[in-house]
Amino acid sequence: DTAVSQTPKYLVTQMGNDKSIKCEQNLGHDTMYWYKQDSKKFLKIMFSYNNKELIINETVPNRFSPKSPDKAHLNLHINSLELGDSAVYFCASSQVNRVGETQYFGPGTRLLVL
């Protein structure tokens, strides 16, 4: 029944590793997003995809590569993990063809890089 789901919920890994976070939405929305919330609790957008096409890329290092196999899924792959990548990553989705549409967020993935 979960509208926006993310896996895993927790991810602890070593510096230099490559990891992926998965996101799925069952709301039938056209647009999906990735946000990063750092240790100071600032929540910032990273990417958005609309119907599998990249719409927003907020100057994120190219070690981060989003992949959207279909409009219900937006995965985030991170290469060569660094300590500064430790954060909570939130996926969200929305339907953009209506004025004032809202975003629905997933529960977050807590990434800790050691």
Partner 1 sequence: DAKTTQPPSMDCAEGRAANLPCNHSTISGNEYVYWYRQIHSQGPQYIIHGLKNNETNEMASLIITEDRKSSTLILPHATLRDTAVYYCIVRVGNFGNEKLTFGTGTRLTIIP
Asked if residue 37 lies in contact with residue 45, where contact means CB atoms within 8 angstroms, the answer is no
* Residue placing its CB nearer to partner 1 in the complex, 10 or 69: 10
- Which residues does 33 contact at the CB level (< 8 Å), separation at least 6? 45, 46, 47, 48, 49, 56, 74, 91, 92, 93, 94, 103
CB of 49 to partner 1, least distance (A): 11
**Is the Cβ of residue 48 or residue 68 nearer to partner 1 in the bound state?**
48
Which lies closer to partner 1 via its Cβ, residue 82 or residue 101? 101
| CB nearer to partner 1: pick between 14 and 97 | 97
Positions touching partner 1 (CB under 8 A) are: 4, 31, 41-45, 48, 50, 55-56, 90, 92, 94, 96-97, 100-108
User: Coil, strand, or helix at residue 98?
Assistant: coil
Closest approach of Cβ 45 to partner 1, in Å?
6
Residue 19 CA to chain centroid, in angstroms?
13
